[in-house]
Amino acid sequence: MDKKLSKRLAEIVDALPLFDGIRILEIGCGPGAAAREVSKRIGTGYILAIDRSAKAIQQAIAGSQAETASGRLAFRHVAVENFELQADEAPFDLAFAIRVGALDGRHPEIEARALAKIAKALTKKGKLFIDGGNPLKEIPLP
């Protein structure tokens, strides 16, 4: 396990329904600790971790050289309410967010836009999980 992974992050990653080959979108990845741990658990899968902070993305990339070189992990600087799949990008099976202001109920207009963008980026059976459950809760998508 990544030495930088807190007990709380470890519990959240453990609670995700991960499997070999899954495609995951992490929203609000910060310095990338959870994304690195997830990338180790998904076999041939792929995780794209996004954050609205350019500094966080720089830190995540700097701390994730081995994982990004493997092709299982990538980072993108974008706010979730502006996220779009790229032309050649397949949809994701699962999205998760930990401590993301756009999804915590404080900004309903941003949250509505964010949920619509997340729904478009997921497969038909895709699921969104956020912190605040035990340790996660699933959020229904539009």
Q: What is the pLDDT of residue 110?
A: 96
* Assigned domain for 27 exists: yes
* Assigned domain for 11 exists: no
State how far Cα 10 lies from the chain centre.
Answer: 14
Structure tokens at 124: 């038909």
The domain total for the chain is 1
- For the segment 18-73, what is each residue's pLDDT rounded down to a tens digit? 999 999 999 999 999 999 999 999 999 999 999 999 999 999 999 999 999 999 99
CATH number of the domain where residue 46 is located: 3.40.50.150
pLDDT at position 122 over 90: yes
* Assigned domain for 95 exists: yes
* Assigned domain for 9 exists: no
pLDDT at position 14 over 60: yes
| In 1-142, alpha helices (H) | 7-15, 33-39, 54-62, 65-69, 108-121
Q: Count how many residues are written for the chain.
A: 142
Q: What is the pLDDT of residue 142?
A: 78
Nearby residues of 74 by Cβ (< 8 Å), 6 or more positions away: 46, 47, 48, 49, 68
* Assigned domain for 13 exists: no
pLDDT at position 4 over 80: no
CA–CA dist 85, 20 (Å, integer): 22
Q: What is the pLDDT of residue 2?
A: 45
* Assigned domain for 116 exists: yes
* Assigned domain for 16 exists: no
- For the segment 75-118, what is each residue's pLDDT rounded down to a tens digit? 999 999 999 999 999 999 999 999 999 999 899 999 999 999 99
* Assigned domain for 64 exists: yes
What is the span of the domain harbouring residue 30? 23-139
pLDDT at position 3 over 60: no
DSSP 8-state secondary structure symbol assigned to residue 80: G
pLDDT at position 1 over 70: no
